[in-house]
């Protein structure tokens, strides 16, 4: 796989229009207008410094770390295939 160069964070905001300014700090992947959050990817080397700067912004409520990199994406087939019993 690829070496981990970026980490995802969910930034909860008060103002969606102001959330466009987050592009200065990292790669904005998604902005939810209804739930008022943005998914942003940051460089690992400058992550702590960038998070401190983002937290100081007046329209930011809180920042959460994305757990997507920790989710298991390799699946195994442990049970037998039961679809053959349901065929006509």
Q: What local confidence, expressed as pLDDT, does residue 71 receive?
A: 79
What is the DSSP-derived secondary structure letter of residue 14? S
In a domain, 35, yes or no: yes
Q: What is the pLDDT of residue 53?
A: 96
pLDDT less than 50: residues of the chain = 1
Specify the number of domains making up the chain.
Answer: 1
Q: Domain containing 34 — which CATH number?
A: 3.30.70.80
Q: Is the residue at 46 inside a domain?
A: yes
What pLDDT score was predicted for residue 87?
A: 57
Distances (CA, A) of 52 to 10, 21, 44, 56, 76: 14, 15, 14, 6, 40
pLDDT for position 85? 64
Q: What pLDDT does 81 receive?
A: 66
**Residue 87 placed within a domain:** no
């Amino acid at each position: 796989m690829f070496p981990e160069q970026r980490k995802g964070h969910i930034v909860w905001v008060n103002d969606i229009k102001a959330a466009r300014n987050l592009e200065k700090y990292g790669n904005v992947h998604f902005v939810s207008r209804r739930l008022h959050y943005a998914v942003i990817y940051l460089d690992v080397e400058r992550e702590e410094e960038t998070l401190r700067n983002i937290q100081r912004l007046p329209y930011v409520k809180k920042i959460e770390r994305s757990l997507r990199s920790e989710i298991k994406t390799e699946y195994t087939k442990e049970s037998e295939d039961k679809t053959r019993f349901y065929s006509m």
